[in-house]
A and B are shown apart, each in its own frame.
Chain A
């Protein structure tokens, strides 16, 4: 039918909860807790001290080293404290800003710029300055991804609009609400990469988004080379390697990166943020998230300030319908469960799920019955059952021969396992132990 990859699963989508709900700006929180590390790589270096007055969008953490990202204040106010706060990535040094003053004292000029006149390097500088990271969840610094080493030619930009995780509708709503901006962001990224082609991949369950983007592409003045392609609705369609394979039939080599097959992948949210950074010089201090799950009173798609605590978001969303059993940052397949309502939203937070009921309760696991379900769903072609058994027996040597580093951590194996074995977690343990042994 539609373009697809091997393996995968189709869990209940739960997207109808929020897929029709338009973006709403959540009120500005009184206090923001802004971690200095919200990205892959080195934490940003602190650029303010307690007591400083900061403006909205002011730099408070400077990228440190090759792979890092700038961090900006989400609200105008006073730096109340620099402290370690609980985050989805563990305890992190964070800048705590208390709202004060006005929002007009913004650090960002609001005039629109003509990006078509900017050189590639200037575009990359803007993106780097704005502290943009992958908004799909991985939070890899975007400027780094856009600067492939010499010798790697990128011919195609892949824009990831798959949004294959259940519950999440934020990318869908973004594509439906701002299709022209997504296309413009795509063009900016094509220019920054020097890529002549771009493919926007969207799962078949997001028909309205596909229609909107196709309409935007058909508008006068849009150059050729940008395509929208409908993908099978199948998790993990949005995983980089699977997405590239579905769209272009190119296989990223084992252990390799998309650029090895001439491709760079960016999430639609990232594409949108890049446009804001380039056009308006707007740093990344807000983002769109889906708030969903059966335990929250008012689910929806919201624009929030980065650093807003979960507790504040819960309050703005009408509180709990019932006590949540799990709170998940990101999607239910790949996201992280958090232990506290004090955890702030970070750049990589695509969703906030409040889940209750029997389906999310803790389950005991039992021995593998060798049903092979994990093998048939594994998009990486691994044997999760054997990997899990090897790890359980402490036989890291056996696990090492089973290609654990090819695992993309999609969790499909754990999802289907009838013995409820935490297979992807076992594989992660194998990776950690092998890495530790190699050191």
Chain B
């Protein structure tokens, strides 16, 4: 379909406009791939060949699934548009480095076949395919998905820079045996159980070394979520390329940080701003806010809607991180908000130029 007919054999006749911006779907998708590349490459440096194996398996599986499904459905094969590569890349970056390679292969198949193509392919899926697949893997192989962390030293999966601020060895080991977010969530209880003031969790969590490790990405966590620095570099590229706008990430991170700070203040933590900073830098918040919540297909179309969507993600992520069963809530928060997108789009329409207030209120 082109909507264009050729007459006189040489002249193109079509409806206006007769010029187009150079933007295209493949250019947008490959830009996202490029933006994710630094953080993905760094994960191989940090976690070794396991990261490469997981990312590679996920990408190849996603591309194969996409091509196979399009052939089966007798639709145009669209793997070159890059969207399946993004799905594979994001899934590979969102599993623990020690997860078996076949989990991501199954995840990619699930993402592409069930979540994307059976809903109609690119543009029609309701949920972010990579995140839906991650949720599927969490439900199916919870042990692989929540314990296969990378060990930097004997017991420390947290960060090579995490040093013992004078805790007994047993306490230190149990504190550093999990991801940064788990430290924040379970740490105070561990300390209390050993008769140590829970607020002393700040000693290990909020040292300058720890923050630097979190920012650079010298820490444990899912394959591609660790380096805030490189993720932000990719995000800046996407913002400059106008592939994403600031609305979703800023409201997402802003609300999550604000709630974390408020909660810390209310529960008597003397450094609520550091708690907020720790929340932002650890876990998958930066990866999720800039690269997954901004997925065009599964986020609102209006700026107002994007702000609301981001705020909802921030709220849910905070709630799960603080009171939920998992230390991390970013991917579930985005998935839940994905489901609200049609509703948000319906009520967050831009104001029609010159329309009276009454008409707008009537949903017109």
Contact = CB atoms under 8 A, between A and B. Distances in A.
Q: What range describes how many residues of B lie at the interface?
A: 35 or more
Contact of A253 (B3, B345, B354, B363): B354
A372 B296 contact: yes
Interface in A303-347: 323-328, 332-340
Interface stretch (A23-31, A53-61, A112-120, A414-422): A414-422
Contact of A383 (B121, B122, B301): B301
Given A326-B11, A381-B352, A371 B18 contact: no
B27 interface: yes
Nearest to A244: B354
Interface stretch (A32-40, A43-51, A271-279, A354-362): A354-362
- From DSSP, what is the main secondary structure of chain A's interface residues? loop
Contact of B301 (A338, A385, A403): A385
Nearest to A425: B15
Given A370-B296, A419-B25, A380 B20 contact: no
B303 interface: yes
A41 interface: no
A367 B119 CA distance: 13
A141 interface: no
Contacts of A375: 301-303, 350
Given A359-B19, A415-B21, A416-B21, A254 B352 contact: yes
Contacts of B7: 339-340
B12 A325 contact: yes
A365 B20 CA distance: 12
Nearest to A255: B354
Contact of B121 (A367, A370, A373): A367
Q: What range describes how many residues of A lie at the interface?
A: 35 or more
Contact of B19 (A11, A386, A406, A419): A11
A310 B363 CA distance: 48
A65 interface: no
A373 B21 CA distance: 11
Interface of B: 1-4, 6-8, 10-25, 27-28, 78, 120-124, 245, 296-303, 306, 345, 349-356, 359, 363-364
27 contacts: A166-B19, A324-B10, A326-B18, A333-B16, A333-B19, A337-B13, A338-B11, A339-B7, A355-B18, A368-B123, A369-B297, A370-B297, A370-B301, A371-B301, A372-B300, A379-B353, A380-B352, A381-B355, A382-B352, A401-B364, A403-B355, A415-B19, A418-B24, A418-B28, A419-B25, A422-B3, A422-B14
The 10 closest A-B pairs by CB, nearest first: A411-B17, A372-B301, A339-B7, A367-B123, A362-B4, A425-B15, A371-B296, A254-B354, A381-B350, A418-B23
Given A326-B11, A327-B11, 8 more contacts: A241-B353, A326-B18, A328-B16, A355-B18, A367-B124, A369-B122, A401-B364, A420-B24
